[in-house]
Amino acid sequence: MYSSTFLASAAFLTLVSGSTAFADSYTYYKGDGSTAAGWPAISSWGTWAQLWEANSAIMGETCGWNGWGADDSATEIAYIKSAIQSVASASGVDERFILAIVMQESEGCVRVPTTNNGVVNPGLMQSHDGTGTCAGTNPCPQSEITQMIKDGTEGTSSGDGLEQLIAQSQAALGLGIAPRVYYSAARLYNSGSIDYSNLDNGLGSTNCYASDVANRLTGWVLATRTCTA
């Protein structure tokens, strides 16, 4: 994951949908990812509409904020939305979780550079040696945006995506659809390995990753990040 230039912003956004308050704030979660340890229940996550509205609002600026090239166009942002929804339907992975990983890995910038720390990680989800990328490409075609989301969600010939990591966590924890499964899958997506009892142990990767993803699912976009490792 790239470090954000905007995460230190003190901006605070509150969106209200019906009776549900959806706030941009950050809580540093520690432990095993369970609700007993204080992590958010799935019922506490924002709706897809809330999460998309909050995050798409900044996608048109994140490339520029990070020096990654031209900002996403409205068309490219629309392509991200349709790609997430179509791949979520095909894979069975919750579209909100896919969006949270997209924002964690690239802040929704379609021209995010490819990283290589022993494994090539391209595209919106910084996938495991995927083929989808628009680094240095403007405009980014719909087919490439969809491929980036497929690579990160459904996996590649070289590595697992969210679909496989959710299944791995379910098997290891003996759980079905549970928040701990998603947060564990996020830990695995970042680190490739996991201490299921301590998701804020990055094992050499980003310690805050699982906590960050949990916060993204409950509305964090711009508020000050209180986990710093």
Q: What is the pLDDT of residue 11?
A: 34
Q: What is the pLDDT of residue 19?
A: 26
Sign of the torsion formed by the C-alpha atoms of 45, 46, 48 and 53: negative
Low-confidence ranges of the chain (pLDDT < 50): 1-21
Q: What is the pLDDT of residue 4?
A: 42
Distance from the Cα of residue 109 to its chain's centroid:
12
Q: What is the pLDDT of residue 7?
A: 38
Q: What is the pLDDT of residue 229?
A: 78
Q: What is the pLDDT of residue 118?
A: 87
Model confidence over 96-145: pLDDT tens digits? 999 999 999 999 999 999 999 889 999 999 999 999 999 999 999 999 99
Q: What is the pLDDT of residue 73?
A: 98
Query: For 14-217, which CATH class?
Result: mainly alpha
